[in-house]
Amino acid sequence: MAGRVLRRAAKAAAAGFLHYSGARKAMAAYRRSQSGGRRILIVSYHRVVSDFTGELQRSIPGLLISQETFRRHLEQAHAAGFELASLGDAVDVMAGRRAAKKDLFVVTFDDGYRDVYRYAYPVLKQMGVPAITYLPTAFINTDKRFNHDRLFHLLRRVQERRFRPDYATMPGPSVELLGPILTGQKTTSAALDDFIGEHPTRVLTGIIDALEQQLGGGADLLPEQGDVMNWDEVRQMARDGFEFGAHTLGHTVLTLEPTAVVEKEILESKQTIEREVGVQVKDFAYCNGWYSDEMIRVLSQNGFRSGVTTEDLPNRVGGDPFTLKRKVMWENFSLGMMGDYSSSLTVCQFDDCFGVLGMSHPVLGRRPHVLSQATGTTNVLVQEAAAAEAVLARATPVEVVDVTAPVIVTDPRVAAAVTGAQVVVAPNVALAPEAAKPEELQ
């Protein structure tokens, strides 16, 4: 806690100096030059809420921003000289099909939370700001909650009740999630973020089912908050010109799934939105921000024009539209030393001053593709042809086997893609290469 407070104070103080000294504008000019003449800032939000303080007591903090702070973000981006543009405009500028007179600021929302319809949509409509929302379509028009929200809620109940889970009746990786939380090594949010990126959906649902059973069941184990839009609400926003993109069917981290699942999750989510809303879907958001060459291949061959990550890095003119970088924003990114809204801190976030100074640590989203098969607790990692031996050396204990063994690779497209590569089998070991760890929530 003290460390987070000190980091916030340091950033607020640095932002004040950079803003009022003029150094911020110099850094913005530097980023503009690096980006090919125009900055293309794509920002990501999840939930826009009316009562941030109240919602903070029961929800994942990093998903929240108050309606008032969200409005001020848009006003401040405009005042800082950005053009508040659509994602299509940004892709066209990156591809050289359109010349931009100003730097671009693009608003995106992940997951289709109903809060966006209730509190962001009216602000966007009033201000005439375009935006795109990425929908995990199996949740739209249902009462279901996302696995990350359900797990967060259950983990809070475990802590409140001082409950000691019985790991013997839970999926093997459960201790990797609960251990650091119950021992105070990680916050619940940070532990969840790490865990969800490393384990497939079936492991998450297994832990949810086990915890609900051990806690005795009951309505209080399902979070009230975190409801998603219905199709009527989506259609109303679409009629007002707001765009929608695909975000899988079940909010699935696809780098952990076989090619057949990747294709189903991407294509059926696209087709569902097109059928329900009557619009063409051309854009995709990678769940957890993680993507692979295999996922990009599926997108590019099926009518998509872009894929957005959560890599907090500059977009460059001429860059790959399937690895668009985004800055994920939430309430505390705009809070100054005294806990109130800081204009200087917010605009320094937009201008990536802390990235220029090396004070932020982006998490890279590109991953090797892990094919989860029906082999007990075994993970199968397909290394693409250029994979470094150093990656394999970190994944121990391992057994290297022939890539053509049918028990491991059954999809001929995968076998063809990894000719000359290796498949590594590692029981009970998560094999994805490590990336820079995100800072804990401030």
Closest to 110 in 3D by CA, of 260, 309, 390: 309
Query: For the chain, what are the domain ranges?
Result: 2-142+226-356, 147-221, 369-427
Task: Say how far apart CA 150 and CA 156 lie, in whole Å.
Answer: 10
Residue 66: left (phi > 0), alpha (psi -120 to 50), or beta?
beta
Return the SS3 of 257. Answer: coil
Geometric angle at alpha carbon 200, from 365 and 298, rounded to 5°? 55
**Kind of pairing between the strands at 64-66 and 47-49:** parallel
331 CB-contact burial (10 Å; exposed 0-12 / middle 13-18 / buried 19+) = buried
From first to last of its 442 residues, the chain has per-residue pLDDT tens of 566 677 777 888 889 999 999 999 999 999 999 999 999 999 999 999 999 999 999 999 999 999 999 999 999 999 999 999 999 999 999 999 999 999 999 999 999 999 999 999 999 999 999 999 999 999 999 999 999 999 999 999 999 999 999 999 999 999 999 999 999 999 999 999 889 888 989 999 999 999 999 999 999 999 999 999 999 999 999 999 999 999 999 999 999 899 999 999 999 999 999 999 999 999 999 999 999 999 999 999 999 999 999 999 999 999 999 999 999 999 999 998 888 999 999 999 999 999 999 888 899 999 998 765 443 444 444 434 333 333 333 333 333 333 333 333 333 333 333 333 333 333 333 323 223 333 333 3
Produce one character per residue of 91-119: b if its CB has 16 or more CB atoms within 10 Å, e if not.
bbbbeeeeebeebbbbbbbbbbbebbbbb
pLDDT in tens, 174-215: 999 999 999 999 999 999 988 988 898 999 999 999 999 999
- The rounded distance, in Å, linking the Cα atoms of 109 and 42 is 10
In 75-183, DSSP assigns E strands to 83-85, 104-110, 131-135
Cα separation of 188 and 208, whole Å? 15
* CA distances, 52 to each of 212, 237, 285, 297 (Å): 27, 24, 25, 40
**At the top level of CATH, which class does the domain 2-142+226-356 belong to?**
alpha beta
CA distance 412 to 104: 42
> What CA–CA distance (Å, rounded) separates 247 from 305?
14
Of 99, 96, 95, 127, the closest CA to residue 107 belongs to: 127
